[in-house]
Structure 1
Amino acid sequence: MTRLALSRLHFPVTTLGPGRRVGVWFQGCSIRCPGCVSLDTWSAKEPDTDCAAVLAAIQPFANQADGLTVSGGEPFDQVDALHALLVGWRGAHSGSVLVYSGYPLERLQPLLARFDGLIDALVTDPLQLQVPQTLPLRGSDNQRLTLLTASGRAAFAHLDVPQPNAAPALDVMFDDETGTVFFAGVPRRGDMKRLASLLLRAGHQAATTEDKSASACR
């Protein structure tokens, strides 16, 4: 059975694609864009989770979901695990599939034939802080949304036009065991730093997982 290095799962995610979505985050990223807010997913670890176990974990709520969003980390650093996960999803669910990657689209093109019919929409290219951020689902406007299926075009085409006045929302996720709070979505530049400052001023302990080598964030 194919194994993957998993960061976390969550449902529902409403900020990374249309509708209520299952979110799967892979652990490990070789790209490491300056300013990324998911620095906690950069470090690699041994693949320690069966893809079958991931599919079993999301099964109880997958039938309530409008789709699956896979992010990270870098999913294409674990290409076999990504393929196995999407094959399993497609075998049981009709919801759309959105995958995030920091690789340029041109680098992924040789792999996409293997994923034919498995990915409806693909966000590619590295975050670039010097580029404006007006497009939905993206941290910088150089990142491309490629629609690979008819279902992808129907579900995501409206998200490929600038929305300069739209304020991206963030889903909030709580870990009851550790007290950790996770956010899912694409914040505006500096949002996470401002949030941490507000919490500190209110007397709370706060730290974010953004890359501190850059002044803005994804």
Structure 2
Amino acid sequence: MKLALSRVHFPVTTLGPGRRLGIWVQGCSIRCPGCISSDTWAKRGPDVEVAELLDRVRPWLQVCDGITISGGEPFEQPEALEQLLHAIRQLSGGSVLVYSGLPLEALASCDVVKQGLVDCLISDPFDVSMGQTKYLRGSDNQRMTCLTALGHEVFGSLDRHATDSDRRLDVMFDSDGEVWLAGIPSRGDMARLQLILENQGTYLRTTEARS
């Protein structure tokens, strides 16, 4: 089975506790205004075998504290997501956090959730008109739900307001020279960074969708 994949990175320290493996899927039909990852919206056919992806990340799965899956919308590829998570359960004891723009009520009946393959779910569409005070969330309407005993153990104390120390980003360098920032920036951070760099003669293209 194949998955439409955007990118993977390790370590990610800004999308859950510890040093996590980050997996971003490609394709999202929700397209929330103001989304920081509009580059993952475009649909394309599944192009990476799940087994191939697992071979690629296997060394990281053996040392990571957890896995965070985002996108894109992971639940728009339910069969591939299920296969991926079943395999991750066999290869890693780390916690699994999945981001989805779908409402929690729509996800409760999904096989991936019912089978206990997700330890913690952050759900509901990003709403740029809402406040942004909660840890690991882009807008305050988004809900953090612990779904397993491991989820409660790892994430139970994290359903809280964000602190200043939480407001950081990971910098990732791709083999082709592109630089990515992973995490949840505060409102306006990307525009401010773009202005600072342009004033220094450096061009920055952001993937933040216009709201």
Structures share a fold, TM > 0.5?
yes
Change (3 A) 1:114 1:61: closer
The Cα of 1:165 is off from its aligned counterpart by: 4.5
Aligned match for 1:197, one of 187, 195, 198:
195
Change (3 A) 1:114 1:169: closer
In structure 2, distance between residues paired with 1:163 and 1:112: 31
In structure 2, distance between residues paired with 1:113 and 1:211: 29
Check the 8 A contact 2:112/2:118 in 1, yes or no.
no
CA RMSD in angstroms comes to 1.3
The Cα of 1:180 is off from its aligned counterpart by: 1.1
In structure 2, distance between residues paired with 1:114 and 1:138: 20
| 2:166 aligned with 1:171 | no
Determine the structure 1 residue equivalent to 2:69: 70
In structure 2, distance between residues paired with 1:166 and 1:200: 27
Unpaired runs of 5+ residues, structure 1, are none
Check the 8 A contact 2:108/2:114 in 1, yes or no.
no
In structure 1, distance between residues paired with 2:74 and 2:47: 15
Listed as ranges, the matches of 1:7-156 within 5 Å are 7-112=6-111, 115-156=114-155
Determine the structure 2 residue equivalent to 1:187: 185
The C-alpha deviation readout for 1:58-100, integer Å capped at 9, x for no partner, is: 0122211001100000000001111011001001111000000
In structure 2, distance between residues paired with 1:115 and 1:209: 33
In structure 2, distance between residues paired with 1:49 and 1:163: 35
In structure 2, distance between residues paired with 1:65 and 1:167: 20
Check the 8 A contact 2:2/2:49 in 1, yes or no.
yes
In structure 2, distance between residues paired with 1:116 and 1:44: 27
In structure 1, distance between residues paired with 2:62 and 2:16: 17
Q: Secondary structure at the match of 2:77?
A: helix
AA aligned to 2:75 is: F
Check the 8 A contact 1:135/1:159 in 2, yes or no.
no
In structure 1, distance between residues paired with 2:203 and 2:112: 47
The Cα of 1:169 is off from its aligned counterpart by: 1.1
The Cα of 1:163 is off from its aligned counterpart by: 2.8
Q: Secondary structure at the match of 1:54?
A: helix
The Cα of 1:187 is off from its aligned counterpart by: 0.6
Q: Which moved more, 1:158-167 or 1:42-51?
A: 158-167
Unpaired runs of 5+ residues, structure 2, are none
AA aligned to 1:133 is: Q
Q: Secondary structure at the match of 2:109?
A: helix
Change (3 A) 1:72 1:125: same
Check the 8 A contact 1:83/1:115 in 2, yes or no.
no
In structure 2, distance between residues paired with 1:165 and 1:171: 15
Check the 8 A contact 2:81/2:112 in 1, yes or no.
no
Change (3 A) 1:113 1:171: closer
Q: Which runs of 4+ in 1 moved over 4 A?
A: 112-115, 164-167
In structure 1, distance between residues paired with 2:10 and 2:112: 29
* Identity in percent: 53
